[in-house]
Structure 1
Amino acid sequence: MARRSFTAPSSGWVAARLEADSGDWDLGLFDQATGSRVAGGSSLGASEVASGLAARGQELTLQACRRSGTAEDAKITVDATAIDPDAKVERSSLVRVSTPNRDRKTELTNLGLDMAEHGGPGYLEVVLHGADDADKLREAKFAFTTEERDLAVTDQAAREADARFAQRVRASALPSQRTSYRTLADYTMEMKRLAEQNPDIVKSISLPFKTYEGRTVEGIEITEDVDRRDGKPVFLNMGVHHAREWPAGEHPMEWAYELVNGYKANNPRVRNLMGRARTVVVPIINPDGFNHSRTRGTAAASGPGGGRGAPNPGQENEIVNILSNPTGEYRRKNCRLADNSESGNCDAAFAAGLAATGVDPNRNYGGLWGGPGAGEGITDETYRGPGPFSEPETKNVKDLVSKRQVTTLITNHTFSDLILRPPGLQSLGDPPDENRGYKALGDAMAAENGYLSQKGFELYDTTGTTEDWSYGATGGFGFTFEIGCTEPTINEESGEKVGCDQGHFHPPYAEMVKEYEGNTTRSDETRDGQGNREAYFIALESTANSNRHSVIAGDAPSGAVLRLKKSFKTKTSPVLRGGEETEVQEFDDNLDTTLRVGGTGLFEWHINPSTRPDVAKTRGRPRQGEPSPKVDFSGSPGGPPADGATPSGDANSEEPVFHNEHVFQVPANGGGVDNAEFTVRIEWATITSDWDTRLYRDANSNGIVDGGDPVVGTSQQGTTDFEQISLAEPYTPGQYIFRVNNFAATEAYTGTVTFQSPPPFQPAIQERWTLTCETPEGRARTTQQVLIDRNQSKPIDFGSACPRSISANAGLDALAFARRTCLAPRRGIRGKRVGPAALSRTRARQRRILRRPRLKSRKGIDRYCVIGGGTLRAGYPTRRLNAGMSSRARKRIRKRAVLAISTSKRFRLRKLRVGSRTRTLRKRLKGERRIRVGKNVWYTDGAKRTRLLFRTRRGRVRELGLGNKRLTTTRRGTVRFLRAWDRRGL
């Protein structure tokens, strides 16, 4: 441990960094006066970043702690970034924007504002960061109402509620029993602790791409025998793409505790699922942004009006500049500073008044990147980034998913009470698997948490999101959970939730607990749901359900590496530039997963289908003719009564004097005509004029708009020199009326109706996995193509190309692998030892000594492979064994090995080995005890400190070893002993 002091030169951000040659180090910044933690870094490895807020003159202690390793020195640097007292400070507010139709929703999402990503019938909610954002809405003629005038005030109240909750409740109902939101250091430390305390079922993982501020994105894998590459299907549960969405990290973290606690408590449901599936939890995808938001939240709660935990009681005035700007707590994006820059810094950007820079990670995924619902500029709150997968956060998820068979994925967000599935664009229609389990899984999870299950575009069109890429590229079912809505919108007739009236990005902690537990009104009232806890269980059960994915199985040499690969080009959307569609880009996608064949040579690999959903569905249609010729028209703010419109300041005026109307025909397809889409567009000279448009279908063909004519499109942008409406199939051919309202125009316009042919026909295609059988060193021995569908299992036959010995040198490769993963049979059976295993050792010490991955752990049995073939089983006390024993006897054997037996032919006991004849055994033992248990006949004999055990069947010894002598002194005790792990016998 090492310490040094630092005095903050100004009020603002303090960032400490540690670099060492090796080992695992942690770093903390503490206030010298109070001892409270200002910042911390506890990730895996020898590199740490810790940043937080400090007041001018505040004295800090930097403390570095080496948890493991031998490095004696570490370099620590400290930087301070002052908050500019003259930086523009504006209030953040939450508003509800009227969006009566899909066109208006699209226009709103293309303004680059901070979408709250939730809404209801006829509205979406938006976070406004100051007057300029409000002006954007007014210029685009959006009507809006204010839901929360000052989000900083709302958060102050929420954090005060958190303090009261923590004082009132010592332990919450969560699996971790926490009572307050975690910091970034809390997440990394807790994941590290879970892995250290549960090495058999939890393994730490570090993703390869460091963030702009130099942090490592971390997670944990959870399953039975976690170190084995065993072919189980994978459930990925992750959170906090958006920095301010704190519950999105809490829920997956609690899910990790749910599994670990349940496994240790012998919960049969948890144990069953952990034996059949692997869970990966990455609670914080965007650690830079989250640390900035979470730190600002803590500072705001302790500032003027909060009165809790100020850095120094006498320095509250010094942090007014820090607390006065609420934008930092509501950061959405990552910490990129400028396009193509290799560095980024949330602290520096915020200090300079540049809180809006950065990339929205959930618009940066490659699938459909660059289309509607994502911003084009770096100050847009939904900025998509300079290219697909340009950001370290999304590169990490791409790497994680591409190297595992992730059959189920949940990315957690806040706050709409929604479960969203692809696609993000309405024009793509239903996903290929909509009725093959995809929708059913979303609906089943929604039945537990009370959320609304729907396709992504049913909220509004978005592109570059997580599951649009992950599902399209891998076929694994992907969902977005929008957690938390305190006041849902309920349909009065059906009683179903149809929207969200009120919610919060990080509500009081007690509300977050209710969401996980299922104690919210909508979860409990109508469907007796069990919250996100049960929703995650349903997701894990679906992961383990082979009907929802594919399975290949067969046999291969022990130690061989099986590899499934697929490489392809993924397409983006037509990239929007200045609101206009341009080129479609392509990028390389590579899926590469491996499985290590175990000691038995048998394998079963749960995988995703070989054909990607992106190409599994027919797109477009064969062209049946030519598009109709274009139609030209024009209008002006003056002129003849039938063609003149005076300014009204109303985008939707019904008075004839304020609008022009243009009637045109959309021909039916056939007879050489083929229109898949038509576009109506008007243009004028400058942005000083403002025309607005609506498109009506003339239902009765009378040439005028009346009550029976439906509105089929709207365009009311403002501050542009054009308006445009497009309608794609299926549409109704016939007569249409295009109304042009003069909002504030003095210039004439010209217009066209253009018709487009269907997109090129792309028939559905089938793709295949490339499966190789390799030596442990990576030399491919055989390759084959595997075509496999969802809900399909296929046997794999490598034939003579991948024989039992795949090494060119008589199996040395497989032997080398066996030495790394299996127990050596040397030492034989002596005293209390069977090879390296021994009776009376505690289970933890036995595992440390053996240092080999277990083939299986269940009901007190650890099973290992043995070099040369066969297995060794170490047994520990179970409830059935302890039943009827005295407390003293139970205490004597508690957690200690009472059994060690093996099927390996390398072990000999009384000159007998596995395979010896039973009659030979009886001659050698003389005076043995014979006991039938189930289908096996056991022979036992006494030794000085142990009981010799031989399991026979069909005239031959099948297993031999040692048992606890005290527990097998009588025949009755021996029977109970042999049935302690299974009523049918060992």
Structure 2
Amino acid sequence: MSHRLRARRPHLRGALATTTAVAVAATLAAGLGGPSAAAPPAAPSAEPDRDDAPTRVVMVDAPTVDDRNRVVDLGLDLTEHVTRQGIEVVLHDARDARRLRAAGFDWTVEVADLEAERRDQRRADRRYAARVDESGLPSGRTSYRTYDDYLDDMASLAETYPRLTKPLTLANQTVLGEDITGLEISVGADDVRDGKPVFLLLGAHHAREWPSAEHTMEFGTDLLQSYREGDARARGLLDGMRLVIVPVVNVDGFQISREATPNGDFSRFDYEMKRKNCSISEQITGEWASGPCANNPEGRLRGTDLNRNYPGFWGGGGASTNADNDTYRGDGPGSEPESDAVRKFISNRAVTMMISNHTYSNLVLRPPAIASTGKSVDEVAYKELGDGFADANGYTSQASYQLYDTSGSTEDWSYWITGGFGFTFEIGPDGFHPAYEDAVVGEYLGTTESAAGGGGNREAYYQAAEAAMDHALVSRVSGKAPKGTRIVLSKTHVSPTSPVIQPDGSTGPQQFYEDTLVNRYDSDGGRFILDVNPSTRPLVEGRYGREPVADPQESAEIANPEGVPAEGASEETTFEILGQPEVDNGFATLSFGWPGGADWDFYVYGPDGDVVGSGATLDNPEEIVIPDPVAGTYTVEANNYEGGSAEDDWTGEVTFQSPTPPQDNGIDEAWQVTCLKRGRILASQDVVVDRGEVARLGAVCKPARVKARQ
């Protein structure tokens, strides 16, 4: 039985759900989407378009992925704080609230006055800095850095540890002409062609997410200090791999956010809340394209969301087609110089592990970011890594799509195209840049309640660095080469985006983009070994599945409690799901039906109390599919939404299906291994190598001998 995607009425409200296409089209038709090429916006009034109520943060009741995708499609300002019960949204004005209500959503207020909270946080920062001379962080800092502080601190580390560091400037400058800088950290850091695997740690794709840059900077400082102090773990890491930190990817946006004088209203002209870069979309014309990035008619909404712009699955759900939206995906796949700069770096190094730091939601996220992509062929190892990080920092480990679809994210390009593991860390439980003592000191060191002594993000990053050089997780190529030769592993391939959602809600064809991946090694003579990613891209290798180890569980009725709850009220019942080795359930399908014209809604809670599925449409029967259900006791909440009676009471059944078997596409891609000397090719061969394997090539600079025919 297939899992049908369908909308539900959020939190027992009566409005019927619309499809994504209709919702987007209606938004644009109503003029709520901001400027576009087809309909240039009216100039904003002198005062922000909002009512007298303060800006609020609300948790929208959206317990299913379908619900959360619909909220995303409304084009509101998402905080990216998501739970299995809902998604958090900033309501800037009455128009935002009306848009939510018109779509049938309810919510609870998390922050009644965002500006008051911001003032409290900054006061807490001042008190902390006055009270504490030096924090427990590696840097000892007690307050958020400015961009100049990051430049100074990286320069200071390079001066203090000249043999362990190499300053880095990415290939592209930003929209406003700034360099994107970082620091390479390793034993023999100057030799970037040493064959070591790379752990890339990124911060501030989103300008207003200040802790993401702080954590990135602190871990670089941490490894260097620990190495100098003789820490065996740090020494082993810097001997065996290369850490590359880029604290601020979105340099233009970060400087504007960090240096802005808050308006106090969180409107489009409150630049502290800027998320995007500073590009001007081709949708933006006339007066709307005028003015500097820090003071222009479009305000903080000018630009592209860099973490929706990477070409992997670009153009799909979870990114806006509207340039006047915080999650605007850009005018084309990989169109922005900042995202392209990161892409170029990853394409020219053996980045076997990448973490993109963000705020906030206490999450460790892994691909896939779009449900329709299917779980990665490396799902078992991927989940094990993510769960280990979550054990350290106290976050929730899950695939990105389990929250909502997100197209164009960093790791959804880097993993599927290069094979290097990539994660997003959503740092902290609340706020884009909350009190420093909590969001930076506590989250990094693991002194928060959620980390519970697990070591925090410091320990999670250490584990990621160890995974970057784990021979079971990477591929290796070994051989012999004369001194003065260069070994180059390369491949070029073309990949598709998602089918591209258009501004009118229709879906157009996929676009295609080209990547050239290169790893280089300069031989000093004799044997060598290079750590690389697998030769076959996960994009084409296949999708995760497993062969069943037992039959699925037998079908069973779901008991209906005696009596019928009053209209609008609920009743509860339970059922059991068994586990291996007794049974092997790939899917559990719940079906609820009733004889008459009533309307029942159903919510299913797993053994941990979280919502694992819901059926609250107009369908009869309502069906709920739970993939890979864990063993334990499940609770069903049956709500008599309308008209339920003794004559129209419900019945339920749960059936079980075997897991989906593995999908192996049977395609092998090869690295082209070339030996060069002074630019002249001495020899070349194709090499296929999988994750965890070593390709032993022997003397790679000797041309293969071809035996003449007799």
Q: TM-score range by the shorter chain?
A: 0.7 to 0.9
Cα separation, partners in 2 of 1:515 and 1:345, compared to 1, 3 Å:
farther
Partner of 1:765: 667
Does residue 554 of the first structure (1) align with residue 479 of the second (2)?
yes
Partner of 2:458: 533
Q: Identify the structure with bigger relative contact order (alpha carbons < 8 Å, sequence gap 6+).
A: 2
Cα separation, partners in 2 of 1:355 and 1:606, compared to 1, 3 Å:
same
1:452 alignment partner, one of 365, 377, 396:
396
Does residue 327 of the first structure (1) align with residue 270 of the second (2)?
yes
Would the aligned equivalents of 1:213 and 1:344 in 2 still touch at CA under 8 Å?
no
Alignment of 1:114-263 (within 5 A): 114-228=77-191, 229-263=193-227
Partner of 2:579: none
Would the aligned equivalents of 1:556 and 1:802 in 2 still touch at CA under 8 Å?
no
Q: Once the 2 structures are TM-superposed, how far is the Cα of residue 85 of structure 1 from its aligned partner?
A: 9.8
> Using the alignment, how far apart are the partners of 1:592 and 1:449 within structure 2?
34
- Greater strand proportion: 1
Partner of 1:51: none
Q: Once the 2 structures are TM-superposed, how far is the Cα of residue 322 of structure 1 from its aligned partner?
A: 11
3-state SS of 1:237 partner? strand
Partner of 2:517: 591
> Using the alignment, how far apart are the partners of 1:654 and 1:589 within structure 2?
58
> Using the alignment, how far apart are the partners of 2:303 and 2:418 within structure 1?
28
Would the aligned equivalents of 2:66 and 2:404 in 1 still touch at CA under 8 Å?
no
> Using the alignment, how far apart are the partners of 2:291 and 2:428 within structure 1?
27
2:58 alignment partner, one of 85, 95, 119:
95
3-state SS of 1:191 partner? helix
Cα separation, partners in 2 of 1:774 and 1:468, compared to 1, 3 Å:
same
> What amino acid is aligned across from residue 784 of structure 1 in structure 2?
Q
> Using the alignment, how far apart are the partners of 1:265 and 1:321 within structure 2?
45
> Using the alignment, how far apart are the partners of 1:321 and 1:529 within structure 2?
37
**Structure 1: 5+ residue stretches without partners:** 1-83, 301-319, 486-502, 621-652, 656-695, 717-724, 732-739, 742-760, 804-986
Cα separation, partners in 2 of 1:288 and 1:763, compared to 1, 3 Å:
same
> Using the alignment, how far apart are the partners of 2:174 and 2:370 within structure 1?
29
3-state SS of 1:100 partner? coil
Does residue 104 of the first structure (1) align with residue 67 of the second (2)?
yes
Q: Once the 2 structures are TM-superposed, how far is the Cα of residue 564 of structure 1 from its aligned partner?
A: 0.9
> Using the alignment, how far apart are the partners of 1:269 and 1:321 within structure 2?
46
Cα separation, partners in 2 of 1:700 and 1:108, compared to 1, 3 Å:
closer
Cα separation, partners in 2 of 1:581 and 1:340, compared to 1, 3 Å:
closer
2:470 alignment partner, one of 532, 545, 548:
545
Partner of 1:316: none
Would the aligned equivalents of 2:377 and 2:544 in 1 still touch at CA under 8 Å?
no
> Using the alignment, how far apart are the partners of 1:727 and 1:385 within structure 2?
36
> Using the alignment, how far apart are the partners of 1:329 and 1:181 within structure 2?
14
Cα separation, partners in 2 of 1:588 and 1:258, compared to 1, 3 Å:
same
Cα separation, partners in 2 of 1:419 and 1:362, compared to 1, 3 Å:
same
Cα separation, partners in 2 of 1:549 and 1:324, compared to 1, 3 Å:
closer
Q: Once the 2 structures are TM-superposed, how far is the Cα of residue 352 of structure 1 from its aligned partner?
A: 3.0
Would the aligned equivalents of 2:519 and 2:532 in 1 still touch at CA under 8 Å?
no
Cα separation, partners in 2 of 1:431 and 1:703, compared to 1, 3 Å:
farther
Q: Once the 2 structures are TM-superposed, how far is the Cα of residue 196 of structure 1 from its aligned partner?
A: 2.6
3-state SS of 1:280 partner? strand
Q: Once the 2 structures are TM-superposed, how far is the Cα of residue 590 of structure 1 from its aligned partner?
A: 1.2
Partner of 1:579: 505
2:302 alignment partner, one of 330, 354, 357:
357
Does residue 274 of the first structure (1) align with residue 238 of the second (2)?
yes
**Structure 2: 5+ residue stretches without partners:** 1-43, 546-565, 569-588, 604-612, 629-640, 643-662, 705-710
> Using the alignment, how far apart are the partners of 1:508 and 1:232 within structure 2?
38
Does residue 338 of the first structure (1) align with residue 281 of the second (2)?
yes
Q: Once the 2 structures are TM-superposed, how far is the Cα of residue 367 of structure 1 from its aligned partner?
A: 0.8
Partner of 2:635: none
Cα separation, partners in 2 of 1:510 and 1:619, compared to 1, 3 Å:
closer
Partner of 1:605: 530
> Using the alignment, how far apart are the partners of 1:517 and 1:168 within structure 2?
19
2:447 alignment partner, one of 494, 499, 519:
519
> What whole-Å deviation, never above 9, does each CA across 1:232-276 have from its counterpart, x for those lacking one?
010000111111100000001001101111122222211111000
Instruction: State which structure, 1 or 2, has the greater radius of gyration over its C-alpha atoms.
Output: 1
Would the aligned equivalents of 1:239 and 1:412 in 2 still touch at CA under 8 Å?
yes
Does residue 386 of the first structure (1) align with residue 386 of the second (2)?
no
> Using the alignment, how far apart are the partners of 1:344 and 1:283 within structure 2?
29
3-state SS of 1:288 partner? helix
Partner of 1:86: 46
3-state SS of 1:397 partner? helix
3-state SS of 2:121 partner? helix
> Using the alignment, how far apart are the partners of 2:601 and 2:58 within structure 1?
33
Would the aligned equivalents of 1:619 and 1:764 in 2 still touch at CA under 8 Å?
no
Q: Once the 2 structures are TM-superposed, how far is the Cα of residue 532 of structure 1 from its aligned partner?
A: 0.6
Partner of 1:846: none
> Using the alignment, how far apart are the partners of 2:379 and 2:392 within structure 1?
20
> What amino acid is aligned across from residue 791 of structure 1 in structure 2?
G
Alignment of 1:395-544 (within 5 A): 395-435=340-380, 437-485=381-429, 503-511=430-438, 512-524=440-452, 528-544=453-469
Alignment of 1:778-797 (within 5 A): 778-797=679-698
Q: Once the 2 structures are TM-superposed, how far is the Cα of residue 606 of structure 1 from its aligned partner?
A: 0.4
2:247 alignment partner, one of 272, 283, 291:
283
> Using the alignment, how far apart are the partners of 2:446 and 2:665 within structure 1?
44
> Using the alignment, how far apart are the partners of 1:134 and 1:401 within structure 2?
41
Would the aligned equivalents of 2:180 and 2:248 in 1 still touch at CA under 8 Å?
yes
1:292 alignment partner, one of 251, 256, 260:
256
Would the aligned equivalents of 2:65 and 2:403 in 1 still touch at CA under 8 Å?
no
> Using the alignment, how far apart are the partners of 1:607 and 1:792 within structure 2?
10
> What amino acid is aligned across from residue 344 of structure 2 in structure 1?
D
- Superposition CA RMSD, Å: 3.2
> Using the alignment, how far apart are the partners of 1:618 and 1:266 within structure 2?
43
> Using the alignment, how far apart are the partners of 1:456 and 1:158 within structure 2?
29
Q: Give the paired residue count.
A: 571
Q: Once the 2 structures are TM-superposed, how far is the Cα of residue 145 of structure 1 from its aligned partner?
A: 2.5
> What amino acid is aligned across from residue 693 of structure 2 in structure 1?
Q
3-state SS of 1:232 partner? coil
Q: TM-score, normalised by structure 2?
A: 0.75
3-state SS of 1:513 partner? helix
Cα separation, partners in 2 of 1:767 and 1:704, compared to 1, 3 Å:
farther
Q: Once the 2 structures are TM-superposed, how far is the Cα of residue 788 of structure 1 from its aligned partner?
A: 0.5
Q: Once the 2 structures are TM-superposed, how far is the Cα of residue 372 of structure 1 from its aligned partner?
A: 0.9
Q: TM-score, normalised by structure 1?
A: 0.55
Cα separation, partners in 2 of 1:709 and 1:153, compared to 1, 3 Å:
closer
> What amino acid is aligned across from residue 594 of structure 1 in structure 2?
R
Cα separation, partners in 2 of 1:341 and 1:787, compared to 1, 3 Å:
farther
Cα separation, partners in 2 of 1:99 and 1:86, compared to 1, 3 Å:
same
> What amino acid is aligned across from residue 419 of structure 1 in structure 2?
V
Would the aligned equivalents of 1:118 and 1:459 in 2 still touch at CA under 8 Å?
no
> Using the alignment, how far apart are the partners of 1:169 and 1:257 within structure 2?
20
> What amino acid is aligned across from residue 196 of structure 1 in structure 2?
E
Partner of 1:688: none
> Using the alignment, how far apart are the partners of 2:337 and 2:168 within structure 1?
16
Cα separation, partners in 2 of 1:448 and 1:291, compared to 1, 3 Å:
same
Alignment of 1:846-861 (within 5 A): none
3-state SS of 1:368 partner? coil
Alignment of 1:484-883 (within 5 A): 484-485=428-429, 503-511=430-438, 512-524=440-452, 528-577=453-502, 578-598=504-524, 600-617=525-542, 699-700=592-593, 702=595, 707=600, 763-775=665-677, 777-798=678-699, 801=702
Does residue 372 of the first structure (1) align with residue 300 of the second (2)?
no
Cα separation, partners in 2 of 1:345 and 1:173, compared to 1, 3 Å:
farther
> Using the alignment, how far apart are the partners of 2:393 and 2:544 within structure 1?
35
3-state SS of 1:796 partner? strand
Cα separation, partners in 2 of 1:799 and 1:423, compared to 1, 3 Å:
closer
> Using the alignment, how far apart are the partners of 2:178 and 2:306 within structure 1?
16
Would the aligned equivalents of 1:292 and 1:347 in 2 still touch at CA under 8 Å?
no
Cα separation, partners in 2 of 1:439 and 1:325, compared to 1, 3 Å:
closer
> What amino acid is aligned across from residue 771 of structure 1 in structure 2?
V
Which moved further from structure 2: 338-347 or 456-465?
338-347
